[in-house]
A and B are shown apart, each in its own frame.
Chain A
Amino acid sequence: MVDAFAYVPAVVLLPFFSFLVALGAGKYLPKGGAFGGIAATAGSFLLSLWIATAVAGGRAYNETLYTWAAGDQFELTFGALIDPLSALMLVIVTLVALLVHVFSLGYMNDEGETGLPRYYAGLGLFTASMLGFVVADNLLMAFMFFELVGLCSYLLIGFHFREPGPPSAAKKAFLVTRFGDYFFLVGVVAVFATFGTAAFAGEGSFPALAEAALAGSGDVWTPGGLELQTWLTVVGLLVLGGVVGKSAQFPLHTWLPDAMEGPTPVSALIHAATMVAAGVYLVARMYGFYVLTPTTLAVIAFIGGFTALFAATMGVVKDELKQVLAYSTISQYGYMMLALGAGGYVAAVFHLTTHAFFKALLFLGAGSVIIAMHHNEDMWDMGGLKAKMPVTYYTFLAGSLALAGIFPFAGFWSKDEILYEALVHGLNEPLLLGGYLMGLLAVPVTAFYTFRMVFLTFHGEPRSATARDPEPVRWNVKGPLSVLGTLAVVTGFINMVPVQKVLGLEGIDYLHRWLDNEWGGIEGLSSHHYADLGPYSSGYIAGGEVPTVLVGAAVSLGLALAGLGLAWRLYNVASPTEHTAKLGGIKDVLYNNYYLDELQVWIAYRTEDVAGGADTFDQGIIDGVVNGVSSVSLLGGSRVRRIQTGLVTQYAAMLTLGLIALLVLLGVNGGWFL
């Protein structure tokens, strides 16, 4: 029997080959290289399933595959780490990437876009970088692929580079995430300096070393005699900088709504499975490190809860379909961060899974609507599409119900578990309770804007000529939608913790058991290990665990239904009007994203001198040294070459002089003249 883990590099390399093929030979291939991408991601998907089966068979994989730099203190390596978490993520990423590739046939090829080889090359590299990031076995490798993911998002968001918007949005995405990654890089260096390794798993991994050092054994470096706990918190927060940038958390979320300038399938890929998911996945990957520092956890939880509410409020007033979805993404990743900060490791991974499916579904559904509407994204020009495009409508509805957290769709189970974890752990932690309350408040807002979007798009009377006669979509759009629609309905059933707790059933919380290494995994990377290390204790309201579960679920479901009902009342009419005008001044604030973009521009102008100074230093000192060395050699060379006169007699004379000089030197050394 061939070992499944031997094919781990192939999972990453297949999309990379499709990138090379699309780049080199895309214009000679049918459909601009699309089939290569589909074949590659399908292959990766099958291999990932096989690898997941192997993990389910009780095995795991943690190997260094290539050492690219070795020193006295530490080695820099590439390796693969396959445990339940990364196996699950591999399946999600490859599945979504495969469906996005298929959907692109309908969205890009059938719409007659140009530059398709560049598009498919970008998709291939994007998928490959994300897969490399998922299997990374150390922080430095993760950082490198993290950066590659950022680069690919830049290339794909700016795909329509001839229009003014996309290049600017691409630059913004790149710069804002780079700002976070700067802290991440410092964090990686700090991890190396502190522990001498950046491995995620095993005896000598940095979470294990940090755990041992906090327990009093082992010796780690801290700068300037800083207390260990404080220093670990600093390192955790530094790495968190990259996470905040990539996962679009407050205050570095501003790039994500602009990233909607990219082609819609790319948005689906960015939001569901790759770029934005990378941040949350990184925290989950090194969760053994984060649970050691309660301050970092509290910060994560608070940022997450705040972002969840903050982004949701902005989604309420947007007019464009993809803008609403963009803010919902920020908000949902806020929930995942809240879960991670609240000690709900499984809940966060659960929401990451369900969100990947329903958000990919919503984006692809939006793409289908955009095809039908001839690339008009304004919801006020839509309406009444329900009858014209039933497949898109029903799948989009399933995704919306999941996003709004309506029982029994996928999003309900995961969001409920996040809120439950935040509640039971938050009863003793004020900061966490604040995060919980903000997360809870975001629930009705989410339901409201989601169904405002659904009603405006699909219900009522058509409000434009295109909406009366939309362009039909083909199988390559309906196929991915159907797959994801089914998943958005059923994914929640892999982890029905409330049902288990209330009915007293055993063992239907499959995701909990999966992440708890019940089938297979790596020692020290299991959810109960994290729970043991974590700083939280549980508290219950209404006298016990079961009532807490019931009250929590009832409150969040009730709030979601309230939001849905309000949207129904306001927008599910034949010709809805803009009720947002009633909000008055608040509407302008929300519509302009709390003026945060303006604030960032203002900060950028205020700090212009710093940037100018850095530029002068770079041009003058750094480049000056390099240019100085080269001009010295250049000048010296131009002088010395004058002895090359072309006169053979002079060469002979120089040879003779050299011989005499050598003889005199040897003579002096030998003592002739003494």
Chain B
Amino acid sequence: MVPAQWYLILAAGIFCIGLFGVLTRSDALYFLMSVELMMNAANVNFVAFSLYYGDLTGQVFALFVIALAAAEVAIGIGIILVLYRNFGDIDVTVPTEMRW
């Protein structure tokens, strides 16, 4: 059996890639994809621990997260659409009206 820490290292790696995307990209679609990566890193962790402890709760949680991610994508694409209509672009650094 593959030891649990390999899964954790994989998950940490995916999470960091996602985080890197969020921090460096300014395109909203990249944002959405990066968030998806981070969420799936969490899913890997859930499933890994589920396997490690022999408890199905983690896998059920992973299913919930997948459903949640689907909803999140729908909302995210909606926001991007509105962004494009209002600013003619999907660059997240352009709209800075909501500030002090």
Minimal beta-carbon separation of A258 from chain B (angstroms) = 58
Indicate if A653 sits at the interface (CB-CB under 8 A): yes
Indicate if A652 sits at the interface (CB-CB under 8 A): yes
Q: For B28, give the chain A residue with the smallest CB separation.
A: A648
Set A641, A642, A646, A653: member contacting B23, Cβ < 8 A: A653
Q: Chain B residues near A646 (CB, 8 Å)? A: 95-99
Q: How large is the interface on B (under 10, 10 to 19, 20 to 34, 35 or more residues)?
A: 10 to 19
Minimal beta-carbon separation of B12 from chain A (angstroms) = 12
CA distance A205 to B96 in the complex (A): 69
Indicate if A603 sits at the interface (CB-CB under 8 A): no
Q: For A655, give the chain B residue with the smallest CB separation.
A: B22
Minimal beta-carbon separation of B82 from chain A (angstroms) = 14
Q: Is the CB of A649 within 8 A of B93?
A: yes
Given that A649-B26, A649-B93 are contacting pairs, would A656 and B99 also be in contact in the complex, using a CB cutoff of 8 Å?
A: no
Indicate if B42 sits at the interface (CB-CB under 8 A): no
Set A641, A642, A645, A653: member contacting B96, Cβ < 8 A: A645
Q: Chain B residues near A652 (CB, 8 Å)? A: 22-23
Q: Chain A residues near B99 (CB, 8 Å)? A: 644-647
Task: Knowing that A645-B96, A645-B99, A647-B99 touch, tell me 18 more A-B residue pairs with CB under 8 angstroms.
Answer: A642-B100, A644-B99, A646-B95, A646-B96, A646-B97, A646-B98, A646-B99, A647-B96, A648-B92, A648-B93, A649-B23, A649-B26, A649-B92, A652-B22, A652-B23, A653-B23, A656-B19, A656-B23
Interface positions of A (Cβ within 8 A of B): 641-642, 644-649, 652-653, 656
Give per-residue flags for B62-100: 1 if the beta carbon is below 8 A from chain A beta carbons, else 0.
000000000000000000000000000000110111111
Q: For B96, give the chain A residue with the smallest CB separation.
A: A646
Q: For B95, give the chain A residue with the smallest CB separation.
A: A646
CA distance A231 to B95 in the complex (A): 75
CA distance A81 to B19 in the complex (A): 74
Q: For B99, give the chain A residue with the smallest CB separation.
A: A646
Q: Chain A residues near B100 (CB, 8 Å)? A: 641-642, 644
Q: Chain B residues near A648 (CB, 8 Å)? A: 92-93
Chain A to chain B: the 9 pairs with minimum beta-carbon distance, closest first: A646-B99, A646-B96, A641-B100, A644-B100, A648-B92, A646-B98, A652-B22, A644-B99, A645-B99
CA distance A641 to B100 in the complex (A): 6
CA distance A647 to B99 in the complex (A): 8
Minimal beta-carbon separation of B9 from chain A (angstroms) = 16
Minimal beta-carbon separation of B81 from chain A (angstroms) = 17
Minimal beta-carbon separation of A227 from chain B (angstroms) = 66
Q: Chain B residues near A642 (CB, 8 Å)? A: 100
Q: For B35, give the chain A residue with the smallest CB separation.
A: A652
Q: Chain B residues near A656 (CB, 8 Å)? A: 19, 23
Q: Chain A residues near B22 (CB, 8 Å)? A: 649, 652
